[in-house]
Amino acid sequence: MRELKSDRQHKITFTLDGRQVSGDAEPHLLLSDFLREKLGVTSVHVGCEHGVCGTCTVHIDGKAVRACLTFAVQVGNRRVDTVESLSNNEGELNDLQSAFRKHHALQCGFCTPGILMSVEHYLRHNSDPTESDVRDMLSGHLCRCTGYVGMVRAIMETAAKRKSGI
Amino acid sequence: MSAKNTVGSYVGQAIERQEDAALLGGQALFSDDLPIAAGTLHAAILRSPHAHAEIVSIDTIAAKALPSVAAVLIGSDIQQYSDPFITVLKRPIDEWSLAVDRVRFVGEAVAVVIAEDRYKAEDALDLINVIYKPLPAVINPKEAAKENAPILYPEAGSNVLSERHFKYGDPDGAFAKSKHKVSIEIDYPRNSQTPLEGYVVVASYNKFDDAYEVNANFQGPYTVHPVMSRALRVPGSRFRMQTPAHSGGGFGVKQAIFPYVVLMCLAARHVGRPVKWVEDRLEHLTAATAAPNRIIQAEAAVQEDGRVTAFRFVQLDDYGAHLRPPMPGPLYRQHGLMTGAYDVPNLAITNRLVLTNKTPSGMVRGFGGPQIYFAIERLMHRIAIELGMDPLDVIRRNLVASDSFPYRAAGGALLDSGDYQKAIDLGVNDGGLDELKRRREKARAEGKYYGIGYAAIVEPGQSNIGYLSTIVPFKERQKAGHKGGSVSHATIHVDPMGVVSVTADCIPQGQGQATVLSQIVADQLGLKPEDIKVSLEHDTQKDPWSLATGNYSSRFSSATAVAAHLAAKKVREKLIAVAGQALNVTTDDIELTGGKIVDSKNPENFLKFHRVAGLTHWEPGKLPTGMAAGLSETASWAPPELDPPTEGDQINTSLTYGFLFDYCGVEIDPHTAEIRIDKYVTTHDSGKLLNPLIANGQIYGAFAWGVGCALLEEFAYGEDGSFLTGTFADYLCPTSVEIPEPQILHMETPTPFTPLGAKGIGEGNCMSTPVCIANAVCDAIGAENVNLPIYPAKLLPFIDREETAPPQDIALSQRQQTPDGGRAIVGEGNIFAPTDPETVWQTLLDPRHLAAIIPGCQNLEVVGENAYRADVNIAVGPIGGMFRAEISLSDLDPPKSVTLSGSLAGPLGSSAGSGKVRLTQEENGTRIDYTYSVEVSGKVAAIGGRMLDGASQVLINQFFKRLIVRLGGEPIEKPTLWARFLRLLGFNR
């Protein structure tokens, strides 16, 4: 394991939403703060900074991870994907995002990027979930606006459509 | 203008939101995402670990010496440039943006560090040394109201700041004559909907103009704008407040940002650079705000048939440590409506307002409704039980009759419209109440605990800003000038190319106002909602605003939405006049439809919308006589029904009054007492629904929070004032597995008091759901009453089950009630020293030895006989930091026993404790028995409650082990389970 000096800046190079990026971070800098403050990735939101609310969830090498419980220096040479990777450059939302819109699965939208990233990871490994499965998975996130109803509907609909190849 | 409204098709449609794409794609900018000026500095706040203490001294030298720190401000610094906040009651209860001389709750801001970045600012907080002299704290409102209670503001003479008695009709006569008197006492807890985005303030100061500029996620009401500008000693024109288009949830809570707005303005002035502060979660849960907890004694005079002839409410509302404006709003927001959905002509109210050593109360969704409806609807349930009636029959017998609208309630509310009996019919039939009753019968036959609860409530919308003046008697109101009304604004601008832009005064917190405004304006102008660009960031220097501006009291649909409708009508009328001239037809025949302005008698004769709009810009000289050039219209809306309180203290507290009828079935696990909501039906009459998708979203959200309040959410305090729920692992928010999907039913009785007919919809279930669930739980287990949140431990005494014995040898330490009612960690132990008691005694009493024994001890100094002060570096698991320790020895009985008392104080919090040590001569040495009791407060208590028992035990064991080592022995102790396990496997350790 590489040893890092506590007061030094360490250069981190990694893939962010498909682009090679790099930046300097002290070892105690959280990935959430690094993405937001140093790289300007303001789509990663910070809700509790102790791993409960799930707002800051991103993918690291394809797995949903809390960015507030990860140090920036841990992502060197890895792949980090944020909610910005889900829509294309023409401003088209993906199927899950569109279903969230259709079913009014967001209000203030602050928790939404993290939730979308968890759901994308989950659906990749669970193509045919029951509503109870989906609710279990979603329980790793807090949303204070919606009561989760629209989210459950949107996720169930997206899972069904993806499974049937629509 | 009699032009026909030929369109109108978008209002009422479940249109997807125009806000969503940017939010879903991660491109929406929230407060913390907005660009800031280069050189902006960052603030971190030092907060009190004590619930009540005098500030003896604050030493900031070490923090200021850090190269990255620009400044450290304390109370005496901000007094130079600011004044205390104005309060609703003129009493000696000054609050400043930093504590001055005294702290009154755990989490109160004591100092602010301004540094290059937040990490460095937080590091500097640890170097500030504050000496406090703790004072007795009072947490329970009933205790605080007593004469001998510790007083938060000694100059005020009492913690009870206001007591008023109101009578409407003849309540005493009604109670004297009534066959039955039914009463209940409720104790509503502190809670908050805790938005996921915390407070954000970016402030700057222009020294040449003596003017402040702020961008903050403040949600209004703008009655607080003058409070802030007066605290800063500038006129409102020199206190510019901007709010962003996106806010990560408000729920009322983002009103209480205002003390920080002032603090950051002062910080920016002090350092001469912009300053940014972002609240973290611990700060938010500890110190942001909470709905006031309230004790209500509720009583009803009831006739034989279940008819209520009078209500009597005695309310004690707890505002925490300060009375921040617009407090005590929650105590009066419902004042005109204290009879709820019922036709009860006689009413007596006593309102008492008390301060305690808790976080100041503030605006939280529901705003007084959850508290009073918990009392009213629990009381209606009790009436049914005591009279042997069905609870729904008691509700139905007392409802305001459908032919009596508009109905003036005893307290003064003018209930605009509705048909409550019909709404209940709808709920009962379409929700399947009979089937639910069968389910209850079946479950009970199987020995299960199953109950059904009801709630029927009236949901107020758009507050009368004058209601709070009811707190002072009529004569004082006459002197000060009467207050009443509510003003809202919207502006529509059409540019030379016909592009329509809308701004308004609603300060959105995620509800989708931009979408609804686009629907309203599109309908008036014959355009599509996507043609309308709505921008709702607000700027007090550029946008119209009033005292009522903001996002609260469900005001949008009957306030801002109406203003936008009126502004759109003005634009429409102007376009029709211009088009009439251009098309050479009478204006009565003109329609706006499909992006065209058309002669309805000859559809071939039309102009495109943008052409007509363009005429107002390109050819202003040819406009009809007297018409203003350009195409910008602002409308204000102030409904006439919102009068000031009358001489008899009647007050129409809100403009619109919707109706909710809820019922639910709950099942309680006979072994664990876990509560499962089996079915929940909520029937709403919120008038015209402007966008049913968004309307249902409001209901789902309010319902979810209602479930949280019913079952999980509470800001918990120790009796000593320590705050115990500083993380989302302690303050429990409901997740997707705790919240069922409710069945929503609608009927629409438009309010006659607005042109759109819509009422408020966002707060009803915050008011109805907690009590509906509580009624169902009481029905299930036969409890007379149950206070929120209803967690299983509260129900276990009602459940008939075999108690399993706890495992033996559970833990050395445990939480216990202290004699004064506080919660403490207590424990005991013993250890063997290989020397005689006299040597142990001498070692314990020798400061040099003591310094070596106390774990992490540095710089022990003698401050008196058997009294010491030391700096102690404590690290147990994730908890670590420097503490100032005060230790004293008393009850000396050499060499047999001694009492050690002490306290610790540091950035992580404070603790106080004592221990008794007994020495007994044994063969080859001394047996040392010890007992201890420790109380902990501050950050450690707030976030580490679950770890404290273990940490205290480890530290105390360390102390005695080091004593033994000092005495030349090896610590002998019982092998741990782990050591025994290893030995079993053959590892000798």
Residues on chain B touching A139 (C-beta within 8 angstroms): 735-737
| Distance (Å) of CA A103 to CA A96, B248, B937 | 11, 19, 45
Helices and strands in chain A, H and E counts: 5, 5
d(CA B81, CA B210): 11
pLDDT of residue B920: 93
Chain B residues closer than 8 Å to A112 by CB: 23-24
CATH number for the segment(s) A95-163: 1.10.150.120
Whether the predicted pLDDT of B7 surpasses 70: no
Structure token pair of residue B941: 């208590």
pLDDT band, residue B830 (cuts 50/70/90): confident
Comparing CA positions, the residue from B161, B46, B47, B51 lying closest to residue B104 is B51
Provide the CB-side half-sphere exposure for B132 (13 A, CA): 30
Q: At B313, give phi and psi (nearest 5°).
A: -125, 130
Q: For residue A93, list its beta bridge partners.
A: none
Q: Read off the pLDDT of residues B253-278 as tens digits, 9 standing for 90 and up.
A: 999 999 999 999 999 999 999 999 99
In this structure, the dihedral spanned by the alpha carbons of residues B212, B322, B705 and B520, taken in order and rounded to 10 degrees, is -40
Q: What is the pLDDT of residue B821?
A: 42
**Which residues of chain B are within 8 Å of residue A146 when distances are taken between CB atoms?**
697, 700-701, 704
The residues spanned by each domain of chain B are: 36-135+199-279, 154-191+290-469+643-797, 487-637, 814-980
Find the closest chain B residue to A133 by CA distance.
B737
Residues of chain B with pLDDT > 70: what percent?
94
- Rounded to the nearest angstrom, the minimum Cα separation between B27 and chain A is 6
Cα–Cα distance measured from residue A98 to residue A116, given in angstroms and rounded to the nearest whole number: 11
Token readout for B762 is: 């966002």
- Give the burial string for A21-30 (b: 16+ CB within 10 Å, else e): eebebbbebb
Of A37, A50, A107, which is closest to B697 when you measure between CB atoms?
A: A107
pLDDT at residue B909 in the model: 76
Half-sphere exposure of B620 (CA within 13 A, CB side): 8
- Could you tell me the CA-to-CA distances from A29 to A86, B67, B195, B444, B633 in Å, in that order? 26, 20, 25, 57, 50
Distance from CA of B89 to the nearest CA of A (A): 33
| Domain B487-637 in this protein, CATH class | alpha beta
Cβ(B262)–Cβ(B97) below 8 Å: yes
pLDDT single digits (tens) B452-467: 999 999 999 999 999 9
Nearest CA distance, B740 vs chain A (angstrom): 8
* Between residues B372 and B864, the one the model is more confident about: B372
Chain A nearest-CA residue for B196: A47
The CA-atom distances, in angstroms, between B24 and each of A87, A94, B382 are 9, 10, 47
Distance CA B338, CA A107 (A): 31
Please report the pLDDT score of residue B200 as a whole number.
98
Verify whether the Cβ–Cβ distance B248 to A138 is below 8 Å.
Answer: no
Closest alpha carbon within chain A to B700: A147
Query: For A56, which residue in chain B has the nearest alpha carbon?
Result: B196
pLDDT class of B576 with cuts at 50, 70, 90: very high
Which pLDDT band, with edges at 50, 70 and 90, does B3 fall under? very low
> Best mutation site among A24, A144, A155, A156 for testing chain B: the one with the most B CBs within 10 Å?
A144
Mean per-residue pLDDT, B389-402: 98
User: Which residues from chain B sit within 8 angstroms of residue A46, using beta carbons?
Assistant: 32
Q: CB A104 to CB B697 under 8 A?
A: yes
Predicted confidence band at B96 (pLDDT cuts at 50, 70, 90)? very high
The band of B817, judged by pLDDT with boundaries at 50, 70 and 90, is very low
Nearest-neighbour CA in chain A from B553: distance (Å): 16
Of A91, A101, A110, the CB nearest to B20: A101
Q: Is the dihedral of CA B706, B710, B716, B719 positive or negative?
A: positive
B29 vs A contacts (CB less than 8 Å): 42
- Using CA atoms, how far residue B501 sits from B149, B522, B524, B617, in Å, is 57, 11, 14, 15
Measured CA to CA, the distance from residue B117 to residue B907 in angstroms comes to 19
Cβ contacts of A97 on chain B, cutoff 8 Å: 24-25
Binned at pLDDT 50, 70 and 90, residue B934 comes out as: confident
Is residue B113 within 8 A of residue B124, CB to CB? The reply is yes
Phi, psi dihedral angles at B412 (to 5 degrees): 120, -10
Tokens representing residue A153 in the block: 């509907």
| Buried/exposed B769-787: b ≥16 CB within 10 Å, e otherwise | bbbbbbbbbbbbbebeebb
- Using a CB-CB cut-off of 8 Å, the residues of chain B touching A16 are none
Chain B residues in contact with A87 (beta carbon < 8 A): 24-25
Instruction: Output the pLDDT for position A135.
Output: 98
> Is B281 close to A102, i.e. CB distance below 8 A?
no
- The pLDDT, as a whole number, for residue B913 is 84
* Interchain pair A93, B512: CB under 8 A: no
| Residue-wise pLDDT tens digits, B149-158 | 999 999 999 9
Question: Out of B27, B30, B700, whose CB is closest to A110?
Answer: B30
Residues in A touching B250 (Cβ below 8 Å): 108
> Which of A115, A145, A146 would best serve as a mutation to test chain B binding (most B beta carbons within 10 A)?
A145
Residue B121, classed as helix, strand or coil, is helix
> pLDDT tens across B587-607, in order?
999 999 999 999 999 999 999
- Of B89-93, B367-371, B854-858, the poorest mean pLDDT is in B854-858
pLDDT digit string (tens) for B772-804? 999 999 999 999 999 999 999 999 988 876 666
Mean per-residue pLDDT for B224-251?
Answer: 98
**Given strand B606-608, what is the order of strands in its sheet?**
B590-593, B596-599, B606-608
Q: How far is B15 from B9, CA to CA, in rounded Å?
A: 11
d(CA B9, CA B249): 30
Name the nearest CA neighbour of B413 among B358, B460, B446, B378.
B460
How many residues comprise chain B? 989
pLDDT-based confidence at residue B983 (cuts at 50, 70, 90): low
A83 Cα to chain B: minimum distance (Å): 6
Q: For testing the chain B interface, which of A103, A107, A148 should be mutated: the one with the most B CBs within 10 Å?
A: A107
Q: B591 Cβ partners below 8 Å, 6+ apart? A: B3, B4, B6, B7, B526, B597, B598, B600
Which of the residues B27, B29, B66, B196 would you substitute to probe the A interface, choosing the one with the greatest number of A C-beta atoms within 10 Å?
B196
pLDDT band at B951 (very low <50, low <70, confident <90, very high): confident
Which two three-digit tokens encode residue B465? 């800003």
Closest Cβ–Cβ partner in B16, B509, B701 for A102:
B16
**Tell me: the pLDDT tens digits for B477-488?**
999 999 999 999
Locate the DSSP E strands across B143-292: 160-168, 180-188, 200-206, 211-216, 239-243, 275-278
Quick check: do B154-191+290-469+643-797 and B487-637 share a fold? yes
More confident residue, B886 or B419: B419
Where does chain A hold its CATH 1.10.150.120 domain(s)?
Answer: 95-163
Does the domain spanning B814-980 belong to CATH 1.10.260.40? no
User: What is the secondary structure of B903-946 as a DSSP string?
Assistant: EEEETTEEEEEEEEEEEEEETTEEEEEEEEEEEEESHHHHHHHH
Q: Do A49 and B280 touch (CB under 8 A)?
A: yes
In this complex, do B248 and A110 lie within 8 Å of one another by their Cβ atoms? yes
Region of poorest pLDDT, from A42-46, A101-105, B213-217, B821-825: B821-825
| Nearest neighbour of A109 by CB, restricted to B510, B697, B733 | B510
Residue B822 CB-half CA count within 13 A: 22
Identify the pLDDT of residue B571: 98
Contact B394, B384 (CB under 8 A): yes
Q: Note the pLDDT of residue B805.
A: 60
Interface mutation target, options B677, B735, B744, chain A, most CBs of A under 10 Å: B735
Q: Is the pLDDT of residue A161 over 80?
A: yes
Determine the pLDDT at residue B939: 76
Contacts of B119 in chain A (CB under 8 A): 28-29
- Considering CB atoms only, which of B29, B694, B705 is closest to A104? B694
The answer to whether ipTM exceeds 0.95 is yes
| Burial class (CB within 10 angstroms; exposed 0-12, middle 13-18, buried 19+) of B291 | buried
Q: B235 preceded by cis ω (within 30°)? A: no
**Minimal Cα–Cα distance from B697 to chain A, Å?**
6
Minimal-distance CA residue of chain A relative to B729: A52
Residues in chain A within 8 Å Cβ distance of B246: 108-109
3-state secondary structure of B333: coil
Please report where in the chains the tokens 């003036």 appear, as a residue: B408
pLDDT averaged over every residue in chain B: 93
Q: Do A36 and B32 touch (CB under 8 A)?
A: yes
**Phi-psi region for residue B340, left (φ > 0), alpha (ψ -120 to 50) or beta?**
left
Strands (E), B169-207: 180-188, 200-206
How many CB atoms neighbour CB B535 within 10 A? Answer: 12
- Cβ–Cβ under 8 Å, residues B914 and B899: yes
Question: In angstroms, rounded to a whole number, what is the distance separating the alpha carbons of residues B453 and B786?
Answer: 13
Find the CB nearest B704 among A46, A135, A147. Answer: A147
A with B: how many residue pairs have Cβ under 8 Å apart?
168
For residue A147, give how far its alpha carbon lies from the nearest alpha carbon of chain B (Å). Answer: 5
- A104·B736 Cβ contact <8 A: no
Which whole number is the average pLDDT over B103-132? Answer: 97
Backbone phi, psi, residue B372, to 5°: -75, -35
Average pLDDT over residues B922-929: 90
pLDDT digits (tens, 9 = 90+) for B539-571: 999 999 999 999 999 999 999 999 999 999 999
> SS3 for A131?
helix
Q: Any residues with CB less than 8 A from the CB of A130 and at least 6 apart, and which? A: none
Q: Is the pLDDT of residue B358 over 90?
A: yes
| Span(s) in chain A for CATH 3.10.20.30 | 10-85
Q: How would CATH label the architecture of B154-191+290-469+643-797? A: 2-Layer Sandwich (3.30)
CATH topology of domain B36-135+199-279: Aldehyde Oxidoreductase; domain 3 (3.90.1170)
Question: pLDDT digits over B659-702, tens only?
Answer: 999 999 999 999 899 999 999 999 999 999 999 999 999 999 99
CA R_g for chain A: 16
Residue for token digits 């510019």? Answer: B240
What's the whole-number mean pLDDT along residues A98-104? Answer: 98
Q: What is the dihedral of CA B212, B213, B214, B215, to 10 degrees?
A: 180
Residue A151 with chain B: CB contacts under 8 Å: 736
For B700-723, write each residue's pLDDT tens digit.
999 999 999 999 999 999 989 999
- Residue to mutate among B16, B18, B23, B511, with most A CBs inside 10 A, is B23
Quote the CA–CA distance of B319 and B470 in Å, as a whole number.
18
Q: What are the residue ranges of helices labelled H in B232-276?
A: 258-271
Instruction: Indicate the residue of A37, A82, A151 with minimum beta-carbon distance to B26.
Output: A82
Q: What is the pLDDT of residue B87?
A: 95
Q: Which of A44, A104, A116, A139 is the best mutation test for B, with the most CBs of B within 10 A?
A: A104
- Class of domain A10-85 as given by CATH: alpha beta
CA distances for B786 relative to B172, B182, B472, angstroms: 28, 16, 34
**How high is the pLDDT of residue B38?**
97
Share of chain A above pLDDT 90, in %: 95
Q: Do A43 and B27 touch (CB under 8 A)?
A: yes
Which residues on A lie below 8 Å from B703 (Cβ)?
Answer: 147
CA distances from B847 to B862, B897, B964 (A): 7, 18, 16
Residue B44 CB coordination number (10 Å): 23
Res B979 pLDDT > 60 = no
Cβ atoms of B935 and B914 within 8 Å: the answer is no
Average pLDDT on A67-94 reads 97
**pLDDT surpasses 90 at B318:** yes
